[in-house]
Amino acid sequence: MDNISFDEFLKVDVRCGTVLRAEPFPEARKPAIKMWIDFGDEIGERKSSAQVTAHYTPEALVGKQVLAVVNFPPRQIGPFMSEVLVLGLPDDTGEIVLITPDIEVPGGGRMH
C-alpha cells in the first residue's frame, strides 16, 4: 500500500448528497443505476452511475443520503456522463454497499 500525505488526502473532496432521482442503466456493461444527487447550494445537482443493483432498486435510492467524491473529472460511461464517484464497499460476495451517514446530515457536508 502506498502512503499519501495528509495534504494529498485533503485534496479528495468527499461530500454527502441526497439522491433525487434514480433510473436503471441498461446500456451499462454491468448492471448499474443512474442517480441524480443533490449536494446542496454550493455544488448543486450532479449525476453518477453505480453498480449497486444487487442491494438497491432505483426506487429505494430516492431520498437516500450517499457519500461521493465530487472533484474528479466527469467520466463518460456509455451514453451517460458521470460527474461524481459514489462511494461504497464490497460485501462478502463482492457486491457494492453504499457508504451512507447513519444520521441525516445537511446536503453538501464535507467528510472530515
Share the mean pLDDT of the chain.
Answer: 96
Secondary structure of the chain as H, E, C letters:
CCCCCHHHHHCCCEEEEEEEEEEECCCCCCCCEEEEEECHHHHCEEEEEECCCCCCCHHHHCCCEEEEECCCCCEEECCEEECCEECEEECCCCCEEECCCCCCCCCCCECC
**Band of residue 41 on the pLDDT scale cut at 50, 70, 90:** very high
The proportion of the chain whose per-residue pLDDT surpasses 70, expressed as a percent, equals: 100
Counting the structural domains of the chain, the total is 1
- 26: domain CATH number is 2.40.50.140
Residue 105: what residue type? V
Q: In this structure, is residue 84 part of a structural domain?
A: yes
Q: Identify the band that residue 75 occupies on the pLDDT scale cut at 50, 70 and 90.
A: very high
Is 30 contained in some domain? yes
The residue type at 42: E
105 within some domain: no
Per-residue pLDDT at 1: 85
Is 103 a domain residue? no
Q: What confidence score (pLDDT) does residue 42 get? A: 95
pTM recorded for the entire structure: 0.94
Q: Is there a domain that residue 33 lies in? A: yes
Q: Is residue 10 one of the residues assigned to a domain?
A: no
Whether 4 maps to a domain, the answer reads no
User: Domain for residue 25, yes or no?
Assistant: yes
Domain of residue 83, residue span: 21-98
Give the tens place of pLDDT for each residue, 2-15. Answer: 999 999 999 999 99
